[in-house]
Structure 1
């Protein structure tokens, strides 16, 4: 596998594209906005430079060589060359439905589609394509280049051949995967989103400050980050979209989004990417 399409140049798309380029793949990074694409290019350039500062040994490729492996485009037609496509768009069904209709018509018949989604069922995504057996979920963790494990999701129609192809690509990226069955939120986000949402309720109810909530999880349970720090890293808008999908999917009140979470998203306090969430970032 040499040519991989990456749809969506947000936080996750940037991480996936960078990881692929660093492992020798030619990447087609697609987004509807030239402004977003230019920002993505600069972010990847900065990430590669910072990584160079911290690596003790000389990297195999120079940052400019890695960056040259990524083609930045707002034209979906370039995906006609893609052997594998990883989709990273916003966690809204209407957007994903439109994207999969487009790429299904453009990409080669044998191309595999992987949805890097937090909560939307893979079987539902596959249903809008004519290749349901070639669609799976590949839930990457942030920051993508530094996380060695991926949660892979088998949809109702996903073939074993597709799973094997995905495992092969992930191995080329220096990653392993745990394959789980399709259900809203899968394993990681079905548990994580509940934890984060409840931590926001705790903050809303003034039981403890954000710092105290996170410190309890880090010092009592040995977590590297607390739930509110994790929310800022993921993006509060993404957290809200994900918990809303779970609420809609299960019709269970335990997934009711915290009013504070909704308020912060409305106010544009999306976490690290906006400079302000539960914490302030420079």
Structure 2
């Protein structure tokens, strides 16, 4: 991948070299999917250097183009601090990039085994005291912390999509999360101009435990033929003040990600209301994953 000019400089990284960290903040983001891209845009837009890691080089190349476009959009929308030079993006396929980070954000697929394996590897590579963040939307933080060499370094920070437009982040303190990690995540979120709301550890925490079953119920209403997706969203917006409607929100989250989160909630809470609706499963089977695939409950083509 070639180096790009402003507004985004992106450089491929030789996995045998060490990244050049900022004196205060240097992020490594693991996973170049929807959330990894969004978190990277947020950080770059606030002047922080980011090393974006994914095992798929083609996905990394696509992500660099997406990041470029989303940075431009964020600037046009006034979502980035004026006068702050953009951070530098480096991409690579090796987790060894975390060695130079002051904080690592894990944003891989919402699968407990995959996340635990990634975090376990990272825990063995970073300097002691490095802040480790999992961006899980539903898996208890302490469940993942069990895979780490130093579980006290792990914090849950649930960024909403798109992170550069949503000014609040849900911060989850696990049972073993230490005070230094909590102080470090507070400092980082301050640098990103995000308001942190700290909650206790539990499946789905607050946002996913409330929002995802509601989306599931909305999907069931459509599945049962009571109303169309557009009508459900119109009623939720017009009558109950939901800003986008639950099913447009599902498309933004990614319907596959939503199904994964609901599955975690169902398994860990036993709440049958969290069992993914058949319509959601059908959309995933058809590849209708929402905005990222061009079609979900709505057509974005």
Q: TM-score, normalised by structure 1?
A: 0.95
SS for the counterpart of 1:40 is helix
Q: Structure 2: how far apart are the matches of 1:48 and 1:16? A: 11
Residue 2 (structure 1) aligns with: 25
Q: Structure 1: how far apart are the matches of 2:30 and 2:215? A: 27
Residue 47 (structure 2) aligns with: 24
Q: Which of these residues, 218, 224, 228, is aligned with residue 199 of structure 1?
A: 218
Q: Which of these residues, 61, 74, 87, is aligned with residue 38 of structure 1?
A: 61
CA deviations over 1:25-65 (Å, ceiling 9, x no partner):
1111111111111111001111222334445999425xxx6
Q: Structure 1: how far apart are the matches of 2:81 and 2:281? A: 46
Deviation at 1:111, TM superposition (A): 0.7
Q: Structure 1: how far apart are the matches of 2:266 and 2:83? A: 46
SS for the counterpart of 2:244 is coil
Query: Is the contact made by 2:45 and 2:71 (CA closer than 8 Å) also made in structure 1?
Result: no
SS for the counterpart of 1:151 is strand
Residue 214 (structure 1) aligns with: 233
Q: Structure 2: how far apart are the matches of 1:247 and 1:56? A: 36
Residue 128 (structure 2) aligns with: 109
Q: Cα RMSD (Å) of the superposition?
A: 1.6
Residue 170 (structure 1) aligns with: 189
4+ runs of 1 displaced by more than 6 Å?
A: none
Q: Which of these residues, 57, 74, 94, is aligned with residue 51 of structure 1?
A: 74
SS for the counterpart of 2:204 is coil
Deviation at 1:254, TM superposition (A): 2.0
CA deviations over 1:88-143 (Å, ceiling 9, x no partner):
11101121122112111111111111110110010011000011111110000111
Q: Structure 2: how far apart are the matches of 1:263 and 1:2? A: 42
Matched, 1:248 2:271: no
Q: Structure 2: how far apart are the matches of 1:200 and 1:72? A: 37
Residue 105 (structure 2) aligns with: 86
**Structure 1 residues 35 and 115: CA distance shift in structure 2, 3 A:** same
More helix by share: 1
State the number of aligned residues: 278
